[in-house]
């Protein structure tokens, strides 16, 4: 009986391992394909295609991306909005979460419900555009920053991390005469580092990949981020001649690789915070 049980467990684990391996291949293969296509000459890619490895290796696709008009201005816009937008959003959402952690805050329940309602109710695109126009944000750099500062979901993650801080530490700090501002920056922020890193990563990825704002709220080509430039390149890839469409296909692949690269390089250094940051607060003492 014991031998049969061991064999069955071995078969079960083997099936699970095979499923996980297939899932891994399914998720990794698109990245390998895009990278190989970005290194393949356009005509070869269009006529022969690729399966795994690049054919007729060339760096012309990456050179074409770097020579695109306004590409460096778009890079500055994407990098600056990602850094500034992430810092402001995390800081202000942490302040909001800190205030809503105070159980003695007058109207605390009302404010939580009010902020929650803003996540499920909205006026639609037209009222939103009217608000942006009245705030003079249309065709402005700040249209990337100000509307993206608030996130109820990110605030909840931070508040959950704040609430997991032992009350004894907070009470000891109050007995030592620590004020609210110092309490926030010296105790809550350092102890909630995993949650803050998770929120920062979510926010940074949003800003880096967001093409919508640049496509619909900005008309100046020099003010558009990289994600919007890539989206426009994809939309216009079939509008020209056959030769230009062939060249655009591999250029799009190279552009996509360059867009993915910063996230791929940063994520391994922050991965250790993800499990702690998201799961913290799920276990109560």
Q: Is the model's pLDDT at 273 over the cut of 80? A: no
pLDDT digits (tens, 9 = 90+) for 86-114: 999 999 999 999 999 888 888 888 988 88
pLDDT of residue 175: 86
Residue 278 pLDDT level (bands cut at 50, 70, 90): low
* Strand boundaries in the chain, DSSP class E: none
Locate the domains of the chain by residue range: 60-279
Among 71-85, 177-191, 232-246, 259-273, the range scoring the smallest mean pLDDT is: 232-246
pLDDT of residue 77: 96
Give the Cα separation of 90 and 206 in Å (integer).
13
Among 44-53, 61-70, 159-168, the range scoring the smallest mean pLDDT is: 44-53
pLDDT of residue 257: 93
Q: In this structure, which CATH number among 3.30.450.40, 3.40.50.150, 1.10.3720.10, 3.30.479.10 belongs to the domain 60-279? A: 1.10.3720.10
pLDDT digits (tens, 9 = 90+) for 225-270: 999 999 998 888 766 555 566 667 888 999 999 999 998 888 877 7
Mean pLDDT score, 2-22: 74
Give the pTM: 0.85
Three-state SS string across 138-193, please? Answer: CCCHHHCCHHHCCCHHHHHHHHHHHHCCCHHHHHHHHHCCCCHHHHHHHHHHHHCH
pLDDT digits (tens, 9 = 90+) for 139-156: 999 999 999 999 999 999
């Amino acid at each position: 009986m014991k031998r049969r049980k061991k064999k069955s467990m071995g078969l079960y684990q083997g099936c699970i391992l095979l499923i996980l391996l297939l899932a891994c291949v399914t998720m990794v293969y698109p990245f390998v394909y895009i990278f190989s296509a970005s290194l393949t000459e356009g005509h070869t890619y269009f006529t022969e295609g690729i399966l795994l490895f690049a054919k007729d290796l060339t760096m012309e696709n990456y050179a074409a991306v770097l020579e695109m008009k306004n590409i460096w201005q778009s890079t500055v816009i994407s990098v600056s909005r990602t850094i500034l937008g992430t810092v402001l959003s995390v800081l202000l959402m942490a302040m909001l979460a800190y205030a809503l952690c105070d159980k003695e805050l007058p109207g605390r329940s009302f404010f939580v419900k009010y902020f929650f309602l803003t996540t499920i109710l909205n006026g639609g695109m037209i009222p939103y555009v009217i608000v942006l126009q009245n705030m003079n944000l249309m065709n402005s750099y700040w249209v990337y920053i100000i509307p993206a500062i608030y996130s109820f979901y990110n605030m909840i993650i931070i508040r959950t991390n704040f609430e997991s801080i032992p009350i004894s530490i907070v009470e000891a700090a109050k007995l030592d005469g620590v004020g609210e501002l110092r309490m926030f920056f010296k105790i809550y922020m350092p102890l909630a580092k995993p949650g803050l890193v998770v929120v920062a990563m979510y926010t940074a990825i949003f800003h880096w990949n967001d093409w919508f704002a640049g496509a619909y709220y900005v008309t100046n080509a020099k003010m558009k981020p990289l994600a919007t430039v890539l989206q426009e390149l994809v939309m216009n890839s079939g509008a020209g001649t056959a030769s230009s469409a062939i060249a655009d296909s591999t250029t799009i692949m190279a552009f996509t690789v360059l867009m993915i690269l910063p996230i791929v390089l940063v994520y391994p250094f922050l991965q250790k915070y993800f499990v702690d940051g998201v799961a913290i607060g799920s276990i109560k003492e």
